[in-house]
Amino acid sequence: MSTRVTAGIKAKGSCGSRNVFFGVAPHKGLCVTATGTVMHGKLEGGKRVVKGMRRFEEIPHTGRNGWLNLLKFWRENRFQQLHKHMERTFNTLGPIYREKLGTLSSVNIMLPSDVSELFKSEGLHPRRMTLQPWATHREIRNHSKGIFLKNGEEWRADRLQLNKEVMMSAAVKRFLPLLDEVAKDFCQMLQTRMEKEGRGEKGKCVLTIDPSPDLFRFALEASCHVLYGERIGLFSSSPSLESQKFIWAVERMLTTTPPLLYLPPRLLLRMGAPLWTQHATAWDHIFSHAEARIQRGYQRLSTSLDRASPAGTAGSQYTGVLGQLMEKGQLSLDLIKANITELMAGGVDTTAVPLQFALFELGRNPEVQESVRQQVRVSWAQAGGDPHKALQGAPLLKGTIKEVLRLYPVGITVQRYPVRDIVLQNYHIPAGTLVQACIYPMGRSEKVFEDPLRFDPSRWSREEGQRVEAAGFRSLAFGFGARQCVGRRIAESEMQLFLMHILLSFHLSVPSSEDLNTTVTLILQPETPPRITFSKL
């Protein structure tokens, strides 16, 4: 690949070493053991700990005036290149720095060992940064908030109910056949298109396209099938205008969120700022789309229950996450609507975009593509049509998704507010400080990964048999712990099944293997979607 992360010489000890890290000599200071105990000048657990913990104010920073920093960001268009800004700043200031933008202040870290310490202090009710523009929209429209915008015991109670339908293994087995069906239909749609538009002789046609519009339709079709238990027909020759508007609304919502994070949303609301108006209008359309689907789902479930046995069950047919939540009745209808809407809004771009990167990387790494395909073929043949068994027998599929998300994480940070004071890189971090684990720079750092810019899905299988320090904190695209992405199992299964059927049906190549330029809205995505060549196997 064309660019390599510049890194200094790795320090031999976590504290007090005079070796250079990222060009910055680490400061001496107190160190925290694995159990969080601060020791003075002793060896404990093999770590040297020394005196001299540094004050919070001594953490390297990018400028003390948040408003000047924000103005500079806007002038230099840094929001769209925030991931690159973080990478450069770590290379300049070292593995920890402070940043203030407008009203938002954070401490940014990128080493797995520091991330491990952060997550040990997240408490029973982990908090991440609240997306205030989203919360303000819910408040002014009198919508209930889903778990994405909640904290405390209220968040925990709702999350435990949702976990049963989207995270537990029994739930995954219920919705896997639905995702498998959509993935197969997508490949059939692509085959039909290849026969109509492809070049070459019959049976040897190739089709070179920008697949991103089709991937967005696939993600929306799959999400609707799992969440609402219904297909919406997006693979037809003329997809509905309603669905196209929903995709547009999600993209507009994501694009307008980042600038609003650093300004008071209610002030912009009073001013009638166009940016806020666009953001609120996009959310209104998302809610309108979800409301229509939820009402249809409610009517179907009511009809099904009326026809059911006296026990009142809707039968053995899986009714989607919506139907399961309604049947069990543990959440109010308003809370079900709020959470289903959030899952829908967060379930389209966040799978469609990584699939763009996955097709590109497999296309420009033919040896990797063939090794994954061979494993998939064997697993699929042995699974007898069972998608759960097929995925279990093809760990390279999971490795492919992890590798894509290592190089191109959907969200470039994971945030927490520690519930107690902690020490990171010998700096004191007070409880309640916003700390961001910056996973884009982490994924491309030579200090964290060997040959980090090489696309190698097998690296994750190799690591399972090795003891790698803080290994669990090297793959954080879906977050961590109790507050990890609630749609994780849906997204992982959806992307793996998609790639499985693509690799069983097509060979992938790319017209250009040049590195992709990327940009950040609320998520990381290519500046220009890559073109992919599909050839029938």
Nearest to 339 by CA among 328, 347, 351: 347
Task: Give the separation between CA 216 and CA 495, rounded to whole angstroms.
Answer: 12
Give the per-residue SS3 of 178-221. Answer: HHHHHHHHHHHHHHHHHHHHCECCCCCCEEEECCHHHHHHHHHH
Q: How far apart are CA 484 and CA 479, in angstroms?
A: 4
Question: Pairing state of beta strands 206-209 and 47-48?
Answer: unpaired
What Cα–Cα distance (Å) separates residue 432 from each residue in 118, 301, 417, 489? 12, 44, 5, 30
Sign of the dihedral defined by the CA atoms of residues 196, 197, 199, 203, in that order:
negative
Run of H or E residues at 232: none
Q: Look up residue 507 and give its DSSP letter.
A: E
Strand arrangement, sheet containing 413-416: 96-101, 104-109, 435-438, 413-416
Binding site annotation covers 485? Answer: yes
Given a contact cutoff of 8 angstroms between Cβ atoms, the answer to whether 387 and 403 are in contact is no
DSSP 419-447: SS-EEETTEEE-TT--EEEEHHHHHT-TT
Count of CB atoms within 10 A of residue 178's CB?
24
The token pair at 226 is: 């799992």
Buried/exposed code over 395-420 (b: 16+ C-beta within 10 A; e: otherwise): bbbbbbbbbbbbbbbbbbbbbbbbee
| Positions at the binding site for heme | 485
| Positions at the binding site | 485
